Structure 1
Amino acid sequence: MSKSAKKRFLKQQRLEARKVERKAAAKERRRQDLERRRREWEDKLSGVSDGERAWLVESRKEKRRERMGRKTEERGKRAERLRGAAEVGQNVVLDLDFSDLMKPGEIQSLAHQIMYCYAVNGKCEYPVHLWLTGCKGNIGAQLQRLPGFDKWIIEKDDRSYIETFQDQKEKLVYLTADAETTLEEIDTNNIYIIGGLVDRNRWKGITMKKAIEHGIRSARLPIGNYIKLASSQVLTVNQVVEILLKFLETRDWKNAFFSVIPQRKRHPIENAGKNTIDQTGADTNEEEEEEEDVGDLNRRKKQRAEAKAEESEVMKVLQLFNEANSSTETLGAETAYRFTHLPGGIMFRRLVRLRFASPYSTCKRQKSPFILPIDAPVPIKAPFPGHAHGRTWEDPFYWMSNTADPQLTDHLLRENSYAESFMADTEDLRKKLASEMKSRMPARISAPPESWGNWLYYQYIPEGKEYPVLCRRHKNVNGFGRTLCNWLSGRGGEEVLLDWNKIAEQFESSLQNWG
């Protein structure tokens, strides 16, 4: 066994081991969930009378019988539809003769796509007659691992499609993006073939070449006439099958494409008549696109891994800070200490990583002239009993409601001192940010007026102030007489209803006097 083959074998073994572990973990979660629901049910029964308990038990059994009956009925209807499609349905073939050209991961992806094809076909009111040709070798073994594959109502053939339909060769149509003919209508007499290949763009044009070698017709889906694929110019096997199913249901290509192709991969064509679109069609011999649920799961795993790695970096930084020399500080470590202890520490962790990883993160500097407190001031706790609505509790910080308490004043002053010393080296930055934000804001910010009766109500922030002023003004009425009356009565001017700036000044003044 070569070195690369050995690595592939070991990787496959690890994947299999992880799969077994995931199954065991899922089984354990289901067992725990079942045990939890059983306990909840027993607790519910223990708190009711005998008659009510019997009614609850019988009601639960009846609901379970109804639920199982619905599932059995739906399963029977699905099987009946699939058997009917085997007799009179549209024939669609998945060509699986490319398994020798794919890697193990690509074969697994193709098997999942085939599973999605079977699932969506069974849910359709008018399913197609699905065929799996070339169902042997690696892809056949991978399909056998799918749950219930042996019970699928689907045609499975080890032979190639050209051998399976050797007497109907004139009916075969290979769907490939490289075809010159566009598929405008689906003919129920034809047999449409979809290439089952996930190759990461290594085997371009292989399906078209195969159709030419076998002397059969080829066609491409009319995707370019309706939409333009914005990102990857590929469709998966299950997406092509879904498009065919949707078209057979609606007889509308546009509806079929927009219903199946994800929004992130498309944007509408404003003028399809210009024929300026890259006619890539629906060849599935390109990079496979994972289904929505699988993609979401992978994204969540990636986010958890990134969060864990980020947390590990922060902990390393904090450890370096704790080991810092008593006479000097590591700039990056100090930054980590400061920012991760502020409210909203999650937002600042990226700053910690960037600053600590910079070339200057190991520079030494003398300590700040002020003495930074080790811990923030903590208010004392004095339990105070509270009673309301039949409930009793203890509020350890009730004493802080007494603004005349000198202990409260002392605590607030110590908090202010701690905050100032903690943020002292950011004062210039804060002033710069405040100045920049102020320069970007208009001198006067006003809201559009709102009509109410004969008045227009509005608010604005005066120039140089921080808070809004709420005002109203009489509506302008046409006519010299009405205008003159409004002017003489003073109705034409602005009437200030509430000035928050005056209230703020009074509040700040009272705070200064209180402090």
Structure 2
Amino acid sequence: MDTQVEEVNGVKEPLSKKQKKKLMKKQKWLETKQERRKKEKLKMKQKRAVAKAQGLSFGPDRKKLKQCTMSGSSCKQQIVVDMSFEEFMMEKDIGKCAKQIHRSYSANRRVDNPTQLYITSFHGQFKEILSKNIGYSNWDLHYRTEFYRECFRKEDLVYLSSDSDNIIDKLDESKVYVIGGLVDHNAHKGLCHKLAVENGIQHARLPIDEYIVMKTRKVLTIDQVFRILLGVTQGKSWKDSFLEIIPARKGATDKDGSPDNSEEEQVEDASKSSSCNSVSTPSAETDVENGNEVSAPKDMETRLENIEHTDPSL
């Protein structure tokens, strides 16, 4: 007879049938992780060979990617994802934050001049979940265990919040833009803005309403917010960056009525997002992905190099 137990508040209790099934699924996933990665690498190698033989592009060159680092970048814009909201999220939502940060990292390393991307309050469950990505410690990211206010001068900080009355018209490299790493199912509406005000931190929203019209709620994920900022740092206009990144299903059009022709983002479902993104712009206290995993960036090199190893039991 199975006598598996779990410890709750120092007391050992028998596992339920559902808990046992979940534990077995997790163990099986961990045992086969390396083998799955080998198969995926082989599959990508074969696809690269076919693409090369046909003269087709197969994503960015890996050698070039290794040369495009934050330290060698001419872009010194600092962007922070504040992961100090762990107590407000369930484990599965922390996992969603980790996936969105994974996609942000992937986008950053694929531009010629990456931004300076920081993850603060890097510890606890979030660190444990992110560590399931093989080689995460080698990612070109600035990991900080400290709270974001301990890492930068207070006067340089600008917390992004859709509840703010302040509008960013252009990015300032002397400022540090902070994205709230919170997926909360609208349970903590306005939390980031409230905390920024209480702590005397500057706050602002992105100028979505000033450039585009959307048919749905203006709800964005952590990685969408980051990629919009990234696009602007690379020389794109706010309008072009919005229309490129905001999913086509949201029916985004510019003020002149031109539709969003981006197809890349249609896979990303950001319905029922965090409360702080439900107004006019995106703090990234962000999206609940309706229980569906969102795919990593589409180019094959990303799929090979940044395979998501998120525990399926989450």
TM (norm. structure 2) is 0.70
Correspondence 1:84 to 2:72: yes
Q: Is the 8 A contact 1:201 1:286 kept in 2?
A: no
Deviation per residue, 1:214-260 (Å, 9 max, x gap): 10110001111222343343111111110001111234110000010
Correspondence 1:253 to 2:235: no
Correspondence 1:95 to 2:60: no
The 1-side partners of 2:193 and 2:83 are apart by 15
Q: Which moves more between the two structures, 219-228 or 262-271?
A: 262-271
The 2-side partners of 1:73 and 1:31 are apart by 17
Task: Identify if the C-alpha distance between structure 1 residues 266 and 22 changes in structure 2 by more than 3 Å, giving closer, same or farther.
Answer: farther
Q: Is the 8 A contact 1:235 1:288 kept in 2?
A: no
Q: Name the counterpart of 1:26.
A: 36
Task: Identify if the C-alpha distance between structure 1 residues 24 and 251 changes in structure 2 by more than 3 Å, giving closer, same or farther.
Answer: closer
Q: Name the counterpart of 1:173.
A: 158
Correspondence 1:153 to 2:140: yes
Correspondence 1:242 to 2:234: no
Residue 72 of structure 1 deviates from its aligned partner by 5.7
Alignment of 1:44-63 (within 5 A): none
Alignment of 1:195-214 (within 5 A): 195-214=180-199
The 1-side partners of 2:150 and 2:82 are apart by 12
Q: Name the counterpart of 1:124.
A: 111
Q: Is the 8 A contact 1:172 1:192 kept in 2?
A: yes
Q: Is the 8 A contact 1:201 1:287 kept in 2?
A: no
Q: Is the 8 A contact 1:174 1:217 kept in 2?
A: yes
Deviation per residue, 1:266-288 (Å, 9 max, x gap): 3325579xxxxx95211222433
Deviation per residue, 1:345-383 (Å, 9 max, x gap): xxxxxxxxxxxxxxxxxxxxxxxxxxxxxxxxxxxxxxx
Provide structure 2 residue ranges, at least 5 long, that are not aligned to the other structure. 1-7, 47-52, 54-59, 258-277, 299-314
Residue 11 of structure 1 deviates from its aligned partner by 7.2
Q: Name the counterpart of 2:151.
A: 164
Q: Is the 8 A contact 1:176 1:219 kept in 2?
A: yes
Task: Identify if the C-alpha distance between structure 1 residues 252 and 142 changes in structure 2 by more than 3 Å, giving closer, same or farther.
Answer: same
Name the aligned partner's letter for residue 285 of structure 2.
N
The 1-side partners of 2:43 and 2:236 are apart by 46
Q: Secondary structure at the match of 2:117?
A: strand
Task: Identify if the C-alpha distance between structure 1 residues 147 and 27 changes in structure 2 by more than 3 Å, giving closer, same or farther.
Answer: closer
Aligned Cα RMSD in Å?
A: 3.5
The 1-side partners of 2:119 and 2:172 are apart by 20
Name the aligned partner's letter for residue 293 of structure 1.
S
Name the aligned partner's letter for residue 95 of structure 1.
D
Alignment of 1:214-363 (within 5 A): 214-268=199-253, 270=255, 279-289=279-289, 293=295
Name the aligned partner's letter for residue 207 of structure 2.
P
The 2-side partners of 1:221 and 1:252 are apart by 13
Q: Name the counterpart of 2:26.
A: 16
Q: Is the 8 A contact 1:201 1:285 kept in 2?
A: no
The 2-side partners of 1:6 and 1:243 are apart by 45
Residue 100 of structure 1 deviates from its aligned partner by 1.5
Q: Which moves more between the two structures, 283-292 or 235-244?
A: 283-292
Residue 129 of structure 1 deviates from its aligned partner by 0.3
Name the aligned partner's letter for residue 255 of structure 1.
D
The 1-side partners of 2:40 and 2:126 are apart by 31
Deviation per residue, 1:175-223 (Å, 9 max, x gap): 0110000111101100100001111211110100111121011000111
Q: Name the counterpart of 1:73.
A: 63
Task: Identify if the C-alpha distance between structure 1 residues 261 and 102 changes in structure 2 by more than 3 Å, giving closer, same or farther.
Answer: same
Larger Rg: 1
Which contiguous aligned blocks of 4+ residues in structure 1 show a shift greater than 4 angstroms?
Answer: 2-12, 27-34, 269-272
**Percent of paired sites with the same residue:** 29
Name the aligned partner's letter for residue 231 of structure 1.
T
Name the aligned partner's letter for residue 267 of structure 1.
A
**Higher helix proportion (structure 1 or 2):** 1
Residue 156 of structure 1 deviates from its aligned partner by 1.1
The 2-side partners of 1:133 and 1:239 are apart by 19
Q: Is the 8 A contact 2:75 2:113 kept in 1?
A: no
Residue 27 of structure 1 deviates from its aligned partner by 5.8
Q: Name the counterpart of 1:499.
A: none
Q: Name the counterpart of 1:192.
A: 177
Which structure is higher in RCO with an 8 Å CA cutoff and minimum separation 6? 2
Name the aligned partner's letter for residue 295 of structure 2.
D
Task: Identify if the C-alpha distance between structure 1 residues 185 and 71 changes in structure 2 by more than 3 Å, giving closer, same or farther.
Answer: closer
Q: Secondary structure at the match of 1:26?
A: helix
Q: Is the 8 A contact 2:157 2:177 kept in 1?
A: yes
The 2-side partners of 1:121 and 1:181 are apart by 26
Alignment of 1:363-512 (within 5 A): none
Q: Secondary structure at the match of 1:250?
A: coil
The 2-side partners of 1:103 and 1:125 are apart by 36
Q: Is the 8 A contact 1:224 1:279 kept in 2?
A: no
Q: Secondary structure at the match of 1:114?
A: helix
Residue 164 of structure 1 deviates from its aligned partner by 1.4
Task: Identify if the C-alpha distance between structure 1 residues 243 and 72 changes in structure 2 by more than 3 Å, giving closer, same or farther.
Answer: closer
